[in-house]
Chains A and B, each alone.
Chain A
Amino acid sequence: MKHIGRKIYLALIFILMYAPIATLVVLSFNSSKTRAKWGGFTLKWYSSMLADSSIMNALYTTLIIAFLSALIATVIGTAASVGIHSMQAKLKTFFITVTNIPMLNADIVTGISLMLLFIACRFTLGFATILIAHITFNIPYVIMSVLPKLRQVNHSTYEAALDLGASRTYAFRKVIFPDILPGVLSGFLLAFTMSLDDFIITHFTKGPGVDTLSTKIYSEVRKGIKPEMYALSTLLFVSVLVLMMLANSAPKKDESGRIKRSSFIAKRVVPIVLILVFVGGGFLSHIISNANSSSEQLVVYNWGEYIDPEVIEMFQEETGIQVTYEEYETNEIMYPKVQSGAIAYDVVCPSDYMIERMLQNDLLAEINWDNVPNIKNIDEAYMEQSKSFDPENKYSVPYCFGTVGILYNKTMVDEPITSWDVLWDEKYKDNILMQDSVRDAFAVALKRNGDSINSTDVTELQQATQDLIEQKPLVQAYVVDQVRDKMIGNEAAIGVIYSGEAIYTQRENSDLEYVIPEEGSNVWIDSWVIPKNAKNKENAEEFLNFLCRPEIALMNFDYITYSTPNKAGRELIEDDDIRNSRIAFPTAEDLKDCETFKFLGDEADAYYNELWNKVKAS
């Protein structure tokens, strides 16, 4: 009886530990892009994962950092252990205490403290700073693995070696080191694992342009995790699992030293060999991906999931221009990277108000329209609308546009939704999803009160803040693109969402309906611009011209479901319902009270942030 109870308990804990992992493995085979729905079995994410350079780069960075930091930490840590072992009690205590600091201290404090140091020393945050940080928190793990082994070492064997004429280094190498080797190796493995799993410290010490898997995933949380990420993690996990099983099934009889040795090899050496293969593979893939580069280059910086990958392939094939593609999650993340000029992007796709800010700061180059004849395909109306931030239509090519509105589930609400007020309706407590970004959240509150979404009026903003605080208990969660997954999965009744997502969600769940509230809303345009420091301006213009082709615009529309300003492209849409959809292509009447975001200046931005923090902390 007792044994059955134990087994059940063990099983429950096992389920707790591995249920999330099983979930991720299942998701990696889910052909639906949303995690809320099972769309059938597929292996496609495993193949597209290999083609996704941003994921492969993150994997490569992660593995290299884990390997290097574990290696360096092992060297420093092992030497330190030998040193500490031979110290007197007092000094030893000091060292052990220092060693304990990174182990016991909160990761967030370690991360912040290193960030402050790097910035004070004018060290550019990037690969090197992550590496230093990882070495710092890895050394203690090595010391903690090696020190106990040193305590077990029989000191007289070392003295015997000296007595037999060995030099001290030789004696250490031949006598002490083999004894502590298991500790050194498990220290290395532990360090490698810790480095691989770290997010928090990396989060604070990384710079723009460098991502480990962890930070990449964190940024994707807002956009929705790419299924390729599940595939990659599953692959990593399964290979480690198989390895550990092999190690554990190795012969355990210790009748002779030889068999013991082989199990030692299985347990410690094989994992390390595997790590080397992983890391080596990373190097190789990096070299290969760099090898097939042609002389003609183009560096594209775009929102995540904001282009059909096939379009890039086609462009490369047709023009022979090698495209380097990078993604960002918000305008605010993109801006400092372009401004710093650390990487020379050739073409970027910011939103309206951000283009205005970039223009004000003289970051953009004029587009030579002779190279972009297809601009004629863009609906005049949108060129006109662009003038609010690009007064002479000199700098930007409209790419996508849309509104912000309410997505609701017809089966979960009683009345037709017409007003932002519904987001304050007690009836829908815990059934409301709000946007987790300052401007979008305030836009909702301001519009509801009949104010401008670009308000800088203190009383209006205070009122909006008050309203948002009042609304908070009703809100199920503040999310960004997860609104999509959650609405598809019937997790909530009402959500604030971009119109582009509405079309996709309706495709997946026919109970969903999108509306622009009668008080008006935000209408936005994302447009391609060319930064001043672009190195391949002509290639960039060729790319823009390519994107303006009707059939390409259609491909992108099908893939990302955000409204296209490309008139010719729109006409190619076969489905009448969508071509004439007032969600995708709202009429002037629909938009009569809608505004475009404007850049409000740094001071007003800070004020918005302060108020938003107040809402979140309430």
Chain B
Amino acid sequence: MNKNKSNRILAGPYLFWSVAFILIPLAMIVYYGFTNESGGFTFANIAEIGSPENLKALGLALLLSFISTLICLILAYPLAMILSEANVNQSSFIVMIFILPMWMNFLLRTLAWQTLLEKNGVINSVLDFLHMPNLQIINTPYAIILGMVYNFLPFMVLPIYNALIKLDKDVINAARDLGATQKQTFLKIIFPLTLPGIISGITMVFVPALTTFVISDLLGGSKILLIGNVIEQKFKQGSNWNVGSGLSLVMMIFILLSMAIMNKYDKDGEGGMF
């Protein structure tokens, strides 16, 4: 294995890149987060999270992202199971079905939901036609949840799907052979063995949902502020970078938490998306 040592040098440019553009920028957020506008040390920016408006935005963001993560999981698991049982030859096609929408711009896709959900939008027209009660969720938190689920569902489906197709069919057969019913096999074997994929999916949905400002902006009628909106405003409109950084740091606590959980369950990056 003597080729190894000299090959390590190949990671050099990446090391440089990640220090310069990943680690140092993060350090800058920490710096801004703990200083005031004249550069003095302060906890005031972090404490800003305690203001009623910010607490409300954070709480709402946590709530909405939690709900949408849960919905994603409930929708994605059966879906991934159905897909994983499909013909093996189709697997790349299946992945494509979920990657393909990304070629239609994310903002346009989300905006299209406005047209679909509006009072006189497409969905309500169809419901009217069927003489069914109308769906009134545009500009409410429900629309935001829908937007989150819609945008982030693929990030839940793909890791679970990958975990499922990696499962040895004989392991499932073995459980059945040893007397387990289908339900028992699922609970004791399939579910625990796909846990890395599930955890990875949860992280990949929860983090962007928690921090989004676009979805709440587009589907919430600009009147529902999530923590992401507050931070975005601090940087883009109010130009108060210190407070913005402070709030970002608070938000990062939740991100770090999910990263830690993910590392614990998924040491080899096996629950990856691709």
Contact = CB atoms under 8 A, between A and B. Distances in A.
A110 B211 CA distance: 11
B5 interface: yes
B109 A21 contact: yes
B269 A23 contact: no
Given A23-B116, A98-B22, A614-B53, A475 B3 contact: no
Contact of B102 (A96, A99, A197): A197
Interface stretch (A307-315, A486-494, A525-533, A588-596): A486-494
Interface string A179-215: 0000000100010011011111001100000000110
A379 interface: no
A168 B79 CA distance: 46
Interface of B is mostly: helix
Given A16-B150, A23-B115, A218 B107 contact: yes
A75 B218 CA distance: 37
Interface of A is mostly: helix
A229 B107 CA distance: 11
A132 B21 contact: yes
Contact of A618 (B53, B97, B236): B53
Interface in A137-178: 139, 141, 143-145, 147-148, 158, 168
Contacts, number: 282
Interface string B114-131: 011011111000000000
A221 B218 contact: yes
A147 B268 CA distance: 11
A199 B107 contact: yes
Contacts of A77: 14
Interface residues of A, number: 109
Interface in B135-185: 139, 150, 153
B108 A112 contact: no
B113 interface: yes
30 contacts: A10-B82, A14-B97, A20-B110, A21-B104, A23-B112, A24-B104, A80-B10, A82-B10, A83-B14, A91-B8, A101-B18, A101-B26, A104-B258, A107-B208, A109-B26, A109-B29, A116-B29, A117-B21, A144-B269, A145-B274, A168-B3, A200-B214, A237-B100, A240-B100, A477-B139, A490-B120, A491-B119, A610-B238, A613-B238, A617-B225
Interface of A: 6, 9-10, 13-14, 16-21, 23-24, 27, 35-36, 76-77, 79-80, 82-87, 91, 95-102, 104-110, 112-117, 120, 132-133, 135-136, 139, 141, 143-145, 147-148, 158, 168, 186, 190, 193-194, 196-200, 203-204, 213-214, 217-218, 221, 225, 229-230, 233, 236-237, 240-241, 244, 248, 252, 267, 430, 436, 472, 475-479, 486, 489-491, 609-610, 613-614, 616-618
Interface of B: 1, 3-15, 17-18, 21-26, 28-29, 32, 53-54, 56-57, 75, 78-79, 82, 89, 92-93, 96-113, 115-116, 118-122, 139, 150, 153, 203-204, 207-208, 210-214, 218, 221-223, 225, 228, 230-233, 235-238, 241, 244-245, 248, 251-252, 255, 258-259, 262-263, 269, 272-274
**Closest 5 pairs between A and B when the two form their complex, measured CB to CB:** A477-B221, A83-B11, A113-B25, A80-B14, A20-B112
